[in-house]
Amino acid sequence: MTLLEIRGLGKRFGGLDAVKDVDLDVEEGRITAVIGPNGAGKSTLFNLVHGFYRPTSGSIRFKDEDITHSSPHNTVAGGIARTFQTTNLFDDSTLLENVLAGRIVRSKSTIFDAVFHTPRHRRESRINEDRAMEALEYCGVAEYRHDLASNVPQEVQKRTAVAMALATEPELILLDEPAGGIPEEETADFGNLIRSLPQRGVSVLLVEHKMTMIMDLADTILVLDHGQKLAFGVPSEIQSNPDVIHAYLGSTPQDPTDQKEK
């Protein structure tokens, strides 16, 4: 089943088309990757889906509902979570508090519940704690839960960002370079975490620069170049596509794995 359906999506900044006429279907239970050279419009595409930017043309449908003009609050509440390219956590809070912040969108209790300590408030607090702990454990960082986000290694931060996104109970998660800045030897481990997400009922849309990881993880790949669709298909097709080799893989003689360009 198609979970996310993007048709003719475009975003124009002044005279520049950051994203132009992009079609994409994200299937439920799959890992879909978006690749492309820097400035190809990958992050802009994410921002459009998530509601940070309003598209200038085209439409986005999620679970058969039009979310083209939804605000981030509504897309997150609707079941789309995201992480950022640069690790983005609340630095002066603990990891547990960070992941609890992901629960806000699912919290219904108001200030009156908090003040009068109503049963709903108590029930919700307990559920929030449980879900947050579960997400931390799932991402393998529960032991760091009381450490400040600024004090833990990069990999733990990246995993926590995923845990925070999972805490919002998404059906689709947008991961923007989740393994960026993670040492090579830990990438495989991180890949396993991402690979396990569909079994949890979370489909994945992924931007990543580490090609070995992408080819290994993705079910389907969309290649963007200059904001437009260059190719779409399974990894083996993409790898042998002459346009892609020319525009992306061929442009760098060496494996672009270790680049830290942002």
Partner 1 sequence: MNALKNPRIIGTFALVVLIAAAPLFFAHENYAMRVITVGMCAAIAVYGLNIILGFTGQLSLAQGGFFGIGAYGVGLLTTDYDWSFWSAFAVSVIGTAVIGYLCGLIALRTKDEYFAIFTMAIGFIIFLVISRWESVTHAHSGVNNVKFPEGGGLVDFGSPVAMFYLVFVILLICVYITYAVRRSSVGRTLLTIRTSEDLADAIGVRVGFSKQLAFAASAVFGGIGGGLYATVVGFIGPDSASLDKTFEFLMFILVGGMGTVAGPLLGSMIVTFLFELFQDFQAYRFIVLGPIIVALVIFAPRGIIGYLGGFVDKRNRRRRVAAARRSAEAAESANRGGPSGHDDAADSHVTRSGGPAAPEEKK
Q: Does 97 bind partner 1 (CB under 8 A)?
A: yes
Dmax (CA) for the chain in angstroms is 65
Instruction: Give the residue among 127, 124, 158 at the shortest CA–CA distance from 140.
Output: 158
Which of helix, strand or coil describes residue 218? coil
Please tell me what DSSP assigns to residue 258.
G
For residues 44 and 227, is the Cβ–Cβ distance under 8 A? yes
Cβ closest to partner 1, residue 131 vs residue 229:
131
Q: Does 177 bind partner 1 (CB under 8 A)?
A: no
List the interface residues with partner 1, window 113-152 (CB under 8 A).
113-115, 117, 121, 124-125, 128, 133, 142-143, 146
Which of helix, strand or coil describes residue 115? helix
Span interacting with partner 1, options 59-67, 99-107, 180-188, 203-211, rule CB under 8 A:
99-107
Cβ 76 to partner 1 shortest distance, Å:
3
Residue 115 CA to its chain's centroid (Å): 35
Side by side, the strands of the sheet bearing 57-62 are 16-27, 2-13, 57-62, 65-66
Cβ 100 to partner 1 shortest distance, Å:
6
Of positions 44, 68, 94, 220, contacts partner 1 by CB under 8 A: 94
- Give the interface with partner 1 as residue ranges (CB under 8 A): 50, 52, 72-73, 75-77, 81-82, 84, 88-94, 97, 100-105, 107, 109-111, 113-115, 117, 121, 124-125, 128, 133, 142-143, 146, 164-165, 168
